Structure 1
Amino acid sequence: MIPLQRTPLPAKSERLLARWTDRVAAAGGDSQAARGCWTAADAPKRHIRGALEPMAHGNLRCMYCDDSRATDIDHFQPIAHAAQRAFDWPNHLFACSHCNSNLKRDQYPTDPHGTCLLVDPTVDDPADHLVLLLRSGTYEPVPGSPKGQPTIDVFGLNRSELVKGRLDAFVLARSTIRDWFGLVQDCDPDAARTARALLDSPFVDVVHAMTRLKPSVAPHVVGPRTVPALDAWRSTYG
């Protein structure tokens, strides 16, 4: 999971979503009313999807697993928990069907004060709550973070296909960063294109984790041959 920047909605879209929020209230304001309105809301969905797509990483990657192509508009706080937020722009994220429909569904864990215990990548920096262990491809919660473990559990961030994908991405990222560094040293214009391809690839959370490695740890994790390239990459893209 990587941090994402939520963009403002165009005024026309804001007005449209506000009208549909009013429809939910007029229909009773409960989850049944919200679901009924959402099912019929073709135009609002087009506006929301059109705003979410530019926010998504790479080739429209899921904002949770960063692997599969995003297909679903997810209500971060589910309609079952907050009917009035069905058309609330800050409550929408772009997710793959597995993360959205198979895993998250209506889960929305909170603490005793009602504070959400899931990482929203458009609000939180996931690195404040999640640590990616590059050599194992798995996530661990940041010690003391109340959001780390619930986020790992709800989104299934350590499911086997994601772990394998991150391990493969780690091998490719090390090689690509070394290649990029060689191109930079040769003043080759393909360096920028190589960097862009890596940054647009799935599992870019692996690259983010590499750039956060402490200098004392980096040689043991990425290997001494990669360290000079990673240092240069960090100064350019970190």
Structure 2
Amino acid sequence: MIPLQRLPIDNRFQSRLTRASSPILAAPANTDLARERWKRARTVRRDLKSLLEAMAAGLSRCMYCGDNQGTDIDHFTPIAHDPTHTFAWVNHFLACSHCNSNQKRDQYPCDGSGACLLVDPTTEDPNTHLSLTLVTGAYTARTPKGEATIEVFGLQRPILQQGRARAYVRCRSMLRDWLLQSESGDLAEASEVLDSLRIHPFADVLHAMLHRAESPGAPAVFGPEVTTALRRIRGVVLPLAPLP
């Protein structure tokens, strides 16, 4: 999971969302009505999905696992928990069918004060709550929010860990290649490699590497060539949200 910049929507589309919400807001406890209105709003769903695909990392990757293609619109706050957020733009995320239907479903864990315990990557940096071990591809929680996020989205699924570990190997190789092409003056080839890094699945792997590239120990971990490449492309490959 990486930070994402939520796109603004124009007044016309916001008006469409508001109109779709009106009957639900008039009957705020009616979950069945909200589900029915959502099911019938085909053109709204189509346009929402297009906006979410433009927000997503890579080639329309799932905003939770970062591996699969995002095929579903997930309600971060489930309709069952709060029907009034059914058409709220800030409540929509692009998810793969596995993360949406097999993992998250209607789960919405909260702490004792009622605050949600899931990381919202459009309002906070997941790195605050999650730590990725690059060699193994495993996540560990830094906070209770991180723990709940790993559990609800199934971020420790073995296939995801294996995919992240392999992505780490590929990223290192591509970064070395990019540096070689850049320094040899083959800018066209270097640009192709950089474009491939931008659309690479498991964007969280590259994002974690970029986070750690400025640390004094980075050359010992990544090697001098990879560290140099990371420092040069910082803020270029993942412009979806600023790194600290």
TM range (shorter): over 0.9
Note the C-alpha offset of 1:220.
4.2
Q: 1:187 aligns with which of 185, 205, 208?
A: 185
**C-alpha distance in 1, partners of 2:235/2:178?**
13
Label 1:98 to 1:183 Cα distance change in 2 as closer, same or farther (>3 A): same
Question: Is 199-208 or 64-73 further displaced after alignment?
Answer: 199-208
Q: Report the TM-score, using the length of structure 2 for normalisation.
A: 0.90
Partner of 1:70 in structure 2?
Answer: 70
Note the C-alpha offset of 1:222.
2.3
Note the C-alpha offset of 1:31.
1.1
**C-alpha distance in 1, partners of 2:150/2:138?**
10
Contact 1:177–1:233 (Cα < 8 Å) also in 2: no
Partner of 2:92 in structure 1?
Answer: 92
**C-alpha distance in 2, partners of 1:80/1:5?**
26
Contact 2:28–2:84 (Cα < 8 Å) also in 1: no
Label 1:25 to 1:215 Cα distance change in 2 as closer, same or farther (>3 A): closer
Matching residue's letter, 1:38: W
Contact 1:103–1:156 (Cα < 8 Å) also in 2: yes
- SS at structure 2 position matched to 1:226: helix
**C-alpha distance in 1, partners of 2:234/2:51?**
30
Partner of 1:113 in structure 2?
Answer: 113
Question: Is 101-110 or 48-57 further displaced after alignment?
Answer: 48-57
**C-alpha distance in 2, partners of 1:132/1:161?**
15
Note the C-alpha offset of 1:75.
0.2
Partner of 1:201 in structure 2?
Answer: 200
**C-alpha distance in 1, partners of 2:37/2:26?**
11
Label 1:77 to 1:236 Cα distance change in 2 as closer, same or farther (>3 A): closer
- SS at structure 1 position matched to 2:74: strand
Note the C-alpha offset of 1:183.
1.1
Partner of 1:51 in structure 2?
Answer: 51
Partner of 1:165 in structure 2?
Answer: 163
Post-superposition CA distance 1:40-69 (Å, at most 9, x none): 111221221122111011110000000000
Is 1:40 the counterpart of 2:40? The answer is yes
Runs of 4+ in 1 over 3 A off after TM superposition: 25-29, 214-217, 223-238
Note the C-alpha offset of 1:219.
3.7
Note the C-alpha offset of 1:187.
2.1
Note the C-alpha offset of 1:164.
0.6
**C-alpha distance in 1, partners of 2:8/2:194?**
28
**C-alpha distance in 2, partners of 1:13/1:235?**
30
Partner of 2:123 in structure 1?
Answer: 123
Label 1:224 to 1:55 Cα distance change in 2 as closer, same or farther (>3 A): same
- Count of equivalent residues: 236
- Unpaired segments ≥5 residues, structure 1: none
Label 1:155 to 1:194 Cα distance change in 2 as closer, same or farther (>3 A): same
**C-alpha distance in 2, partners of 1:199/1:184?**
16
Contact 1:134–1:221 (Cα < 8 Å) also in 2: no
Matching residue's letter, 1:192: S
**C-alpha distance in 2, partners of 1:227/1:73?**
37
Label 1:36 to 1:235 Cα distance change in 2 as closer, same or farther (>3 A): closer
CA RMSD between the two structures: 1.8
Note the C-alpha offset of 1:8.
1.2
**C-alpha distance in 2, partners of 1:234/1:86?**
36
Q: 1:151 aligns with which of 149, 152, 162?
A: 149
Note the C-alpha offset of 1:236.
5.9
Contact 2:179–2:225 (Cα < 8 Å) also in 1: no
